[in-house]
Structure 1
Amino acid sequence: MYKSTAAELLAKALNKSAEETIKQIERPKQLQHGDYAFPCFALAKEKRQSPQSIAAELAAELSHEEFSAITAVGGYVNFTLDKKLAGSSVLKDILQQRAAYGNTAIGQGQTVTIDLSSPNIAKPFSMGHLRSTVIGNSISLLLEKQGYDVVRINHVGDWGTQFGKLICAYEKWGEEEKVRANTIPELLKLYVRFHEEAAQDEQLEQEGRDWFRKLEQGDAYANKLWRWFRDVSMEEFGRVYELMGVHFDSDAGEAFYNDKMERVVKELEQKNLLSLSEGAQVVRLDEFDLPPSLIKKKDGATLYATRDLTAAIYRKETYKFSKSLYVVGHEQSLHFQQLKLVLEKMGYAWSDGITHIPFGMVLQDGKKMSTRKGKLVLLDKVLEQAIQLAAANIAEKNPNLADKEEVARQVGVGAVLFHDLKHERIHDFEFSLEDMLRVEGETGPYVQYTHARASTLLSKGGKNQGGPEVDGETAAAAWPMLSLLLQFPDAVNNAAINYDPSRIAKYVIDLAQAFNSYYGKVRILEEDEKIGARLTVVAAVASVLEEGLRLLGIRAPRQM
């Protein structure tokens, strides 16, 4: 709102469009330089004046009731908001809208499908799968806040050659009683052993492929084992998802498309898009300087690309999406380039709506975690440890806290989720249980504790809370918080546009730090004529912290 006012004032003075001007307006790094800044350097050549003189002329010419000062500093025009006016306005918005503050109708009810999490069955849910799950969940929440109808799809890896290998390993070394008693860990041991043995015996790889061919051809015994592996895995995954508060609208995995792929292969044939390459069927992408997309192997087995083509077409027909998002690691970037281009060659203009949202890896000792080598950190174990640590902390510092177990769960899980989401999506980061569970610094528990502190203040002084109007003195003292509260809708929009939840994580850290600084300097509950205004500010901060955490998939306890 205020940025638009500044843009309109500048546009009128410069005889330019407000749309063009608003893109150039920045936020100063330091609050003492104002709330908005317009750089004049690009105008110097056009006006044949120094940026400093242009800024000085503009500052002298411009004025508006929303700004207490418009000044020239170096080559910038700085706009300082009227703190009482702007502070009262944002507090009114937050207190009226509560969790809806920052909502928009940008999506206009359009459907977005989002492919997230997608772990492989018969393997433990490792820390390596955390990123797609929590990034995808947060993006879903951000898009819903923008007015999109989001369909969350867990495209589980329940088909492929690896299941032939696993069945082969089970047949050779598996013991039914041991596997039934401890299914996922025992299956992981078999999978790791298969790759260790295959390194010494090349024939094993062929035996694994043979078992997968049997599975594809409907062999009753192979299918019975596969269904057992899948059912147990989904039950195990369900426990982890419930702990993290993540839900899905569909768990149609790769196997769901088994009876739907032939139609797509025939369509590719009819459109003369298939070529033979060393016996395999491919779609050539030479004109895009990309390798061909493999549709069928020489032995007739389908591939990952075949399934994703089929899934994309099915989702468009079923959900009528305007956007289809895939939250998948950056190592799959080529695959998604090929997917879009094959769909484009098939004549599907809607392929423009497909977006791959890549992310960096969780590293262990600087290397990617590997299921094949058994180098895994299991997510459920990390969550359990985090919850236990949170419970121990509560027992030490607040033993009489109500709902201790639930609060420990919210804090422990929140610590793990926040540690992931605070990193920029595209960056790799090193797994560190110690850093993840730290309750001070830029962590989830720090933000949760700040929300609990604000909630406690409101509980103690709630009867004194005033309306949204704040006096100039209170607004000035609280301005670092009020300024950030004004920025929340932009933070939500920027995080959604860039599919990057780390922007919300950074935002709630900044707001929590601003609040704790205010808490350390101001006697918030002092019973004077301004207590109502101070508590109104506290209520607004608590509301926005809670909503910010919710957008990250994290709960905000009222007591800790």
Structure 2
Amino acid sequence: MATVSLSGLQAFVAEIGLGPIPSFAAADVLHNPIDIYHSYLAEVFRALVECDPDLVYNSIQPANTVGNGDLNIVLPRLKLPGTTPKELASELLKKFQPHPLFALPFKDGVHIRFFFSPKSIPRLLFPYINDRKEKYGMDASLGMQNDQGSRQKKVLIEFSSPNIASEFTEAHLRSTILGAFVANMYEAMGWEVTRINYLGDWGKHLGLLGVGWQKYGSEKILDNQADLFRYIHDLYAKMEEELQPEQDARKRAREDGQDFATMESQGLFAERDATFKRMEDGEPEAITLWKKLRDISVEYYTTVYSRLNIKFDEYSGESRVSLDSDAVTEVEAVLKDKGIYEEQDGAWVIDFDKHGAKLGTATVRKNGSTTYLLRDLATVFDRLKSHAFDKMIYVVCEQDVHFRQVFKAVELMGRVDISDRLQHITFPKASGQSSGGSSHLLGDILDQCQFRMLEAMNSNPEEYQFEDPEGISKVMGLNFLIVHELSLRKNHNSSLDFNFMASSEGETGIRLQMSYSRLCSAILKNGVHPREDEINNIDYSSLWDEPWSELLRLIARYPEVTTSAFKTLEPGTILSYLFCVVEQISSCLDDADEDDSEGEGSTVGSKYAARAVLYDSVRQVLENGMKLLGATPFNK
């Protein structure tokens, strides 16, 4: 663990023949090994040009691809008078003296590009990764509130959020997997994370389900039904089917310009609304029924989410503020006192256009019942009291206008300090028909993943040589699902396609896992396992040439990749990087398979020892990245 403290890192670089690491405000040498190179390079050029040291440091940036070098000096950023960037490049190249960390630089337009010396990378990088292991790529300092006594910052992340009894849509699936990734990222960067599942456990759909239970349910069913959640799901579907003729009639009346209000006061519409009103009024019998239905749902989801390695800290819902009248009353009092909402056609609304936001008009309360907007506003302030959060993130499909209305309403209430802490991560609905068939429950989707994966494995036993195919198919099927959902950009709306499970090619979870397994097999086959105290004494000259040196440079970039992904909360950043690592390690393993060196001479022994350390470092990077995504690496 020598390199995890600044004093230890300084002692380490001295041991490998380097002077003290220069200090720059923007450098984070304890979490990013590239910043060590960056600091030495900035110190070299600070001596060659007369300008502010931090300006020199900031004029150096990591190359966007390994083909463009490792670090680039962007000469216009130096803002030196009296010379053009191209002239300056030629002048600086003449003055640059050989350095043990860098190969000779070259000029590229207004850039000077540097590659790390392949001789230096193993000696610096391998101990750095080995000291951090599963924490390589994490930076706990990003989660500290340094201006308040180093307090750990708190983030609430709301995701998944299915409606009770309704089907689990692809939008809920993507929210679940993307939200889990966002939570993992914040946790890796030192934040205190609270994962919230904000169930759709309140509203008129619960009234409809209540009517269905009164008509078709019984305590006897609760005692005997093996799969209660599937039962209430099917019951809700039955009630929706019964309601459909009334909905169609109302739609026709609206289209014909007729009064449809009378329709809503009769039939199943009226029964639904009356049942939900009894819940809102807190009638004991109605609340007891609601609680039973909710408990069945939470029990089901708790079990099924665990299959995805997801554990929610809190199962909340609109019911929390709906049953606590104080939370809603306090919000409405502010809305009224500040003249934010107004009465319109018997309802209370917010006309956002009147308040300078082109967000239309939103209903806050209608027919005495609270609306989605009012309940979400009350929830913001309820959570502020209970959690004192520094940030709250909603991972929800579309609904961009709704969340902008929520955030704007909070601002209009005079709490811009709170609205600035709120963020909505959105994505579009999936288009087309999923190849998964008619799966309506999350458990069904996960079962389908396992079944399709087992089918693919059985159809290609040479490709998938595992001792426990049924057990492995569970993990690989879920890895496929997670990588598929996270590989879709925010503006991409493709449906889940299980047909890709038939191949280990392409950028899929199958390929990622198979590459990880191949690497673990190579570690065993290599047969050399250096001790930690031997890592610095190994001859790494066999790794100086391609493709090995390219792989070294690539794994050094991992902390920068995770930092970038944290800033954007874009999982594709990590996925793209991991597949680059997979491509490069595959080339190295192919090269090793073609190597027919034999014997036990010192050169051969050093080569296998060098590979052993490299393989383990790459395995650590792949494992860390996969776990951030929510995937489960295994080496069976």
Query: Would you say same fold, with TM above 0.5?
Result: yes
**What's the CA shift for 1:169?**
5.3
Matched, 1:15 2:74: no
Q: Which residue of 2 aligns with 1:421?
A: 486
Q: Which residue of 2 aligns with 1:183?
A: 231
Shift of 1:40: 4.6
Q: How far apart are the structure 2 equivalents of 1:170 and 1:14?
A: 80
Q: Could you say which residue in structure 1 is the equivalent of 2:93?
A: 59
| Structure 2 letter corresponding to 1:146 | M
Shift of 1:228: 3.4
Aligned to 2:587: 517
Residue 564 of structure 2 aligns with an amino acid whose one-letter code is: N
Q: Aligned match of 2:366 in 298, 301, 306?
A: 298
Counterpart check, 1:467 vs 2:535 = yes
Q: 1:28 to 1:345 in 2, by over 3 A?
A: closer
What are the residue-to-residue correspondences of 1:115-130 with 2, within 5 Å?
A: 115-130=158-173
Give 1:436 shift. 5.5
For residue 351 of structure 1, what is the aligned residue in structure 2? 419
The 3-state SS of whatever aligns with 2:164 is: coil
- Once the two structures are overlaid, the 10-residue window that deviates more, 504-513 or 336-345, is 336-345
Measured against aligned partners, the alpha-carbon deviations of 1:408-453 in whole angstroms (never above 9, x if no partner) come to: 2111111111111122234322332213664322111211111111
Greater mean deviation of Cα atoms: 313-322 or 434-443? 434-443
Equivalent of 1:217 in 281, 294, 314: 281
After superposition, give the CA deviation of every residue in 1:361-415 in whole Å (9 maximum; x if it has no partner). 222249xx9xxxx986554333223213433555534898455443221111111
Distance 1:428 1:530, change over 3 A: same
- Give the 5 Å matches for 1:348-427: 348=415, 349-365=417-433, 378-394=441-457, 396-397=461-462, 401-427=466-492
Work out the CA distance in 2 between the residues paired with 1:30 and 1:488: 12
| Structure-2 change in CA distance of 1:71 and 1:14 (3 Å) | farther
Partner Cα distance (1:443, 1:288) in 2: 46
CA distance in 2, matches of 1:470, 1:103: 29
Q: For structure 1, which segment, 160-169 or 17-26, has the greater mean C-alpha deviation from structure 2 after superposition?
A: 17-26
The change in CA–CA distance for 1:363 and 1:9 in structure 2 (over 3 A counts) is farther
Gaps of 5+ in 1: none
Q: Is 404-413 or 76-85 further displaced after alignment?
A: 404-413
Offset from partner CA, 1:296-345 (integer Å, 9 cap, x none): 3231110111121121112222212111111112x222222222222223
CA gap 1:280/1:186 in 2 versus in 1, 3 angstroms: same
The aligned counterpart of 2:133 is 98
| 1:342 alignment partner in structure 2 | 409
Q: Output the CA distance in 2 between the equivalents of 1:556 and 1:483.
A: 23
AA partner of residue 306 (structure 1)? L
* Equivalent position amino acid for 2:480 in 1: A
**Structure 2 partner of 1:239:** 303
1:158 offset after TM fit, Å? 0.5
Which is further off, 125-134 or 276-285? 276-285
Q: Matched residues in 2 for 1:341 and 1:24: separation?
A: 40
Contact 2:159 2:197 (C-alpha < 8 Å) held by counterparts: yes
Q: Which moved more, 1:468-477 or 1:70-79?
A: 468-477
Identify which of 564, 570, 584 aligns with 1:494.
564
For 1:380 and 1:414, how far apart are their aligned partners in 2? 15
User: % of aligned pairs identical?
Assistant: 26
Query: How far is the alpha carbon of 1:106 from its aligned partner?
Result: 0.9
CA distance in 2, matches of 1:80, 1:152: 42
Q: Is residue 205 of structure 2 the alignment partner of residue 159 of structure 1?
A: no
Query: Secondary structure in 2 aligned to 1:550?
Result: helix
Q: What letter corresponds to residue 620 of structure 2 in structure 1?
A: S
For residue 363 of structure 1, give the secondary structure of its aligned residue in structure 2: coil
| Whole-Å separation in 1 of the counterparts to 2:41 and 2:494 | 40
- The offset of 1:16, in angstroms, is 5.2
Which of 374, 388, 400 is the matching residue for 1:333?
400
Change (3 A) 1:454 1:432: same
Amino acid at match of 2:521: T
Q: 1:383 to 1:296 in 2, by over 3 A?
A: same
Corresponding residue of 2:15: none
Q: CA separation of 1:316/1:445 partners in 2, compared to 1, >3 Å: closer, same or farther?
A: same
> Are 1:476 and 2:540 counterparts?
no
- Alignment correspondent of 1:504: 574
> What residue is the counterpart of 2:257 in the other structure?
none
Instruction: State the 1:84 CA deviation.
Output: 1.9
Which amino acid counterpart does residue 314 of structure 1 have in structure 2?
A: D
User: Structure 1 residue 293: deviation in Å?
Assistant: 6.5
> Taking CA–CA contacts closer than 8 Å with sequence separation of 6 or more, which of the two structures ends up with the larger relative contact order?
1
Q: Distance in 2 between matches of 1:142 and 1:90?
A: 23
Contact 1:56–1:71 at 8 Å: present in 2 too? no
Change beyond 3 A, Cα 1:175–1:255: closer
Which piece of structure 1 moves more, 438-447 or 481-490? 438-447
**Deviation for aligned residue 1:358:** 1.4
Q: Is the 8 A contact 2:156 2:389 kept in 1?
A: yes
Q: 1:45, 1:20 → 2: CA distance?
A: 11
Counterpart Cα distance in 2 of 1:156 and 1:293: 25
TM-score (norm 2): 0.78
**Alignment partner, residue 523 of structure 2:** 458
Which of the numbers 138, 146, 158 marks the counterpart of 2:181?
Answer: 138
Deviates more, 1:156-165 or 1:57-66: 57-66
Q: Which residue, 95, 112, 117 being the options, matches 2:155?
A: 112
**Deviation string, structure 1 residues 479-530 (Cα, Å, up to 9, x no partner):** 2221121111111111111111221122211111110111111247956131
Q: Which residue of 1 aligns with 2:613?
A: 536
| 1: CA distance, partners of 2:440 / 2:430 | 10
Q: Is the 8 A contact 1:163 1:226 kept in 2?
A: yes
Preserved CA contact (<8 Å) 1:68 1:81: yes
Superposition deviation, residue 54 in structure 1: 3.6
> Which secondary structure does the structure 1 equivalent of 2:112 belong to?
strand
Structure with bigger gyration radius: 2
Q: Aligned Cα RMSD in Å?
A: 3.2
Contact residue 127 and residue 379 of structure 1 kept, 8 A: no
TM-score where L is the length of structure 1 = 0.88
Match of 2:255 in 1: none
Q: For residues 11 and 333 of structure 1, what CA distance do their matches in structure 2 show?
A: 48
1:553 aligned onto 2:627: no
3-state SS of 1:494 partner: helix
Equivalent residue number for residue 251 of structure 1: 315
